Structure 1
Amino acid sequence: MPSLPRLRSPLSRLTARLAHSALPRRTVRLKLTLLYGALFLLSGAALLTITYLLVLGSNGGSLSGGQPAPDGGGPRAGETGGHSPPVPPPRGRIGESTRDVLPAAAREIMELQRDAVLHDLLVQSAIALGLMSVISIALGWVVSGRILRPLRTVIGAAREISATSLHQRLALEGPSDELKELGDTFDGLLGRLETSFEAQRRFVANASHELRTPLARQRTLGQLALSDPDADVTSLRAAHERILAAGAQQERMIEALLTLARSHAGIEVRRPFDLDRLAREVVAARRTDAEQRRVTLRCALAATVAAGHRPLAERLVINLVDNALRHNEPYGWVEVATADEPGRAVLTVANSGPVVPPSALDQMFQPFQRLGDPRTNKEGLGLGLSIVQAIAVAHDATLAVEARPEGGLVFTIGFPHPPGHQPGPPTDHRQERPPAHRPGPPPGHRKEPSPAHRPGPPPQRRGER
């Protein structure tokens, strides 16, 4: 025969399962309904309690106190009060209460009538309160359902929308309230996600194409070298050198992709660094390249301190200077300048070169996008300015680009200062005196990246203060 604890265990599990399944799911609609019902019940109970106390005091004063009426204060001769026999009018002295001058039987009858009236009032009020509580719960369920209808629309859309259907929108209609604002915010989020997914797909496709090209070149060079029956040491060496060059290009591509991914990941620890010293080191390292391209490289550096990741900031300056040298013209110029402005350490890289249409400024920041004819413009990987933008966003820096009417570009980056930074006296750390002519902000076209790519407003240009 099974023991009693073994029998109780299945029964307790079954009871707990039934009790758990019988409980409704604690939805927001149910919580609002119960809240409405509880508030109405408490308000109704408080109102009925106050009414009962007022009636109790009123009956007590009229039945047990007060002055007798001029005719005696009691029923007239021959009249009856309810089921009680006729009571002769009391004849008391002036100043005595009705209760004191009535006989004992009359006083007892009045007390019974008073208790019956109060009991009826209490019972009927409780019944009315119960009925109205049930009605208020039902009305609360209906009203909360109508209020939460936009939320159900948002939930249904969120369940249906996937990475391939981000073009769908809620487009909630109705008054401009919190729920309408929630729907509009959700639509804005879907728009940003759609843009991000589209850019990611385009980036993956372009990266695959750019990585496949060096691999195909390497395979073709190897196959041609092996298929040549008259190949000698010189031809094989030349083929291997070209294969090594293609491999070096592939390594640069992978390094640029890793830098771009590292920039998108953000910066965890920010340390102060001298922006002017960093820019001076980059200019010194690129001076030989500038001489080979017959481009004058000059700098105007003022002492300023920025907060962030110094290696990433160095990559930003290198990419900007390389871009200025690469997209230039013979006997052109590149100028790198730093300035200490309120709240920002500003880096400016300006260069001469071909005229850039304002419509192409946004295109420059897209990965693998090159201006001009892609068949002739083979220099560079098409990732330099994309890395610049990603590093600027990671540093919470402002990024602005201007197209000079006479040709060339002006890039302005505003790095945030470290906490507690105190601007010092203007100190000039220039290695060389700048020429008399300095490219200022052009009076013509100006184009800035969209707010989605810039973490803050662009820094003020000198001369606009």
Structure 2
Amino acid sequence: MSLRGQLTLLYAGAFVGCGAALVGVPLLRTSQTVPAPGTPAVPRARESVAGPPDVLVTSLVVLAATLVVAVVLGWLISGRLLRPLRTITGTARDISASNLHRRLGVEGRDNEFGELAAVLDDLFARLEAAFEAQRRFVANASHELRTPLTAERTLLQVALADPAATADDLRAACQDVLALGEAQERLIDALLTLAGSESGAFPREPVDLAALAASAIGDRAVSLHLEPAPTAGDAQLLRSLAANLVDNAVRHNDSRAWIDVATGVADGRSFLRVSNSGPAVPPAEVARLLEPFQQLGGARLRLGGGHGLGLTIVRAIADAHRAELAVRPRRTGGLDVTVTF
């Protein structure tokens, strides 16, 4: 049964129940005033009071009419109350991936329907942002993957089209193609890591951020301030988070070339912080650097460099672990990146 039908029965049942109680009272009083058998009746002048059978028939007729009226009123009232819900349902059904910009727009209602519409509008806004980010990501990923493929094909075509090409020329072309292939491999690994972290489907186990940071650093020259920082999560993803932070700090540095990695517990929360020297980063550019395939100055694919996915992967892993990511430009250049669990 529909919600409108259920509400109608609820209203009608309550209405008829009250009517039955009101009708039952005079019936009860009438039955109590009927003389017992063998009791002499007291004659009354011109008595015109209806007997119990007549009262019962009249009461049942009134109760049946009340039931009809209650059902009609309940149907009309429930329809009126549920009209905003039907509007919300119809609009939500019409909204799809192609028109997520639409909103329910149930305004002027400070009640449960208004709250429901506000929650759904917020959901549609987040879905629209997610779909738009996905479209940008797919477009950028296609560009990043197509660029080295085009370069590889060009190198091989030039080498094969040169009739005077020597073995050294062909060997050099092959080395360039291998370098481009390695760049593609790094990009695909980064994309797989990003997809795995965004899915959120991974086991959670006790880990120490200090140990993961130490293993991710390897033999790179960094300043370490590692104290125990216990948390729970996926060890492989968290190691990738630390490695991407360090790689990003190494890649985007300057002649000062210092990197500081610290772990510990502050205010009862474990943290991992990576700071580095480097070029000055305008505060307005920080949010853009967290998006896929974005680098300072608008640079794109660089052979042997990055793809603009380092901080994106860090943000995705932090979000999957419900950690806070804070990226702050240093006044003297470089970044302070802190992940708090």
TM-score for both structures, normalised by structure 2:
0.93
* TM-aligned CA deviation for residue 240 of structure 1: 0.5
> CA 1:182–1:376 in 2, change beyond 3 Å: closer, same or farther?
closer
1:36 and 2:26 correspond: no
AA in 2 matched with 1:38: G
> CA 1:395–1:279 in 2, change beyond 3 Å: closer, same or farther?
same
* TM-aligned CA deviation for residue 333 of structure 1: 1.5
AA in 2 matched with 1:308: G
**Among residues 170, 186, 204, which one is paired with 1:270 in the alignment?**
204
Check conservation: 2:244, 2:314, Cα contact below 8 A: yes
* TM-aligned CA deviation for residue 118 of structure 1: 2.6
Check conservation: 2:245, 2:311, Cα contact below 8 A: yes
* TM-aligned CA deviation for residue 343 of structure 1: 4.2
* TM-aligned CA deviation for residue 215 of structure 1: 0.6
- How big is each residue's C-alpha offset from its partner over 1:423-456, in whole Å with a ceiling of 9 and x where there is no partner? xxxxxxxxxxxxxxxxxxxxxxxxxxxxxxxxxx
Q: Which runs of 5+ in 2 are unaligned?
A: none
Higher radius of gyration, 1 or 2: 1
Corresponding position of 1:12: none
1:118 and 2:78 correspond: no
- How big is each residue's C-alpha offset from its partner over 1:364-403, in whole Å with a ceiling of 9 and x where there is no partner? 1111111114269662011111110111111121111112
* TM-aligned CA deviation for residue 156 of structure 1: 1.3
> CA 1:51–1:333 in 2, change beyond 3 Å: closer, same or farther?
farther
* TM-aligned CA deviation for residue 308 of structure 1: 0.6
1:414 and 2:334 correspond: no
1:7-406 correspondence to structure 2 within 5 Å: 26-57=1-32, 59=33, 104=40, 106-107=41-42, 116-287=50-221, 297-374=222-299, 379-406=305-332
> CA 1:376–1:41 in 2, change beyond 3 Å: closer, same or farther?
closer
Aligned residues: 337
TM-score for both structures, normalised by structure 1:
0.69
* TM-aligned CA deviation for residue 218 of structure 1: 0.6
Corresponding position of 1:7: none
* TM-aligned CA deviation for residue 115 of structure 1: 8.9
> CA 1:329–1:376 in 2, change beyond 3 Å: closer, same or farther?
farther
Partner secondary structure for residue 362 of structure 1: helix
Check conservation: 1:267, 1:309, Cα contact below 8 A: no
2: CA distance between counterparts of 1:186 and 1:401?
31
2: CA distance between counterparts of 1:144 and 1:125?
27
AA in 2 matched with 1:390: A
- How big is each residue's C-alpha offset from its partner over 1:68-112, in whole Å with a ceiling of 9 and x where there is no partner? xxxxxxxxxxxxxxxxxxxxxxxxxxxxxxx97xxx3x44x67xx
* TM-aligned CA deviation for residue 224 of structure 1: 0.2
> CA 1:246–1:268 in 2, change beyond 3 Å: closer, same or farther?
closer
1: CA distance between counterparts of 2:337 and 2:194?
19
Partner secondary structure for residue 157 of structure 2: helix
2: CA distance between counterparts of 1:144 and 1:229?
86
- How big is each residue's C-alpha offset from its partner over 1:24-68, in whole Å with a ceiling of 9 and x where there is no partner? xx22111111221122122211222234224444x35xx78xxxx
1: CA distance between counterparts of 2:50 and 2:100?
71
AA in 2 matched with 1:337: A
1: CA distance between counterparts of 2:109 and 2:27?
43
Partner secondary structure for residue 169 of structure 1: coil
> CA 1:51–1:363 in 2, change beyond 3 Å: closer, same or farther?
farther
Check conservation: 1:267, 1:308, Cα contact below 8 A: no
1: CA distance between counterparts of 2:61 and 2:268?
70
If each structure's helix is expressed as a fraction of its own residues, which one has the higher value?
2
2: CA distance between counterparts of 1:124 and 1:408?
91
1: CA distance between counterparts of 2:284 and 2:156?
43
Check conservation: 1:267, 1:395, Cα contact below 8 A: no
1: CA distance between counterparts of 2:94 and 2:298?
43
* TM-aligned CA deviation for residue 261 of structure 1: 0.6
> CA 1:242–1:35 in 2, change beyond 3 Å: closer, same or farther?
same
Check conservation: 2:9, 2:71, Cα contact below 8 A: yes
AA in 2 matched with 1:251: E
> CA 1:175–1:55 in 2, change beyond 3 Å: closer, same or farther?
farther
Q: Percent identity?
A: 48
Over aligned residue pairs, what C-alpha RMSD do you find?
2.1
1: CA distance between counterparts of 2:298 and 2:143?
18
2: CA distance between counterparts of 1:31 and 1:376?
62
* TM-aligned CA deviation for residue 342 of structure 1: 4.3
- Which structure exhibits the higher relative contact order, with contacts defined as CA atoms closer than 8 Å and separated by 6 or more residues? 2
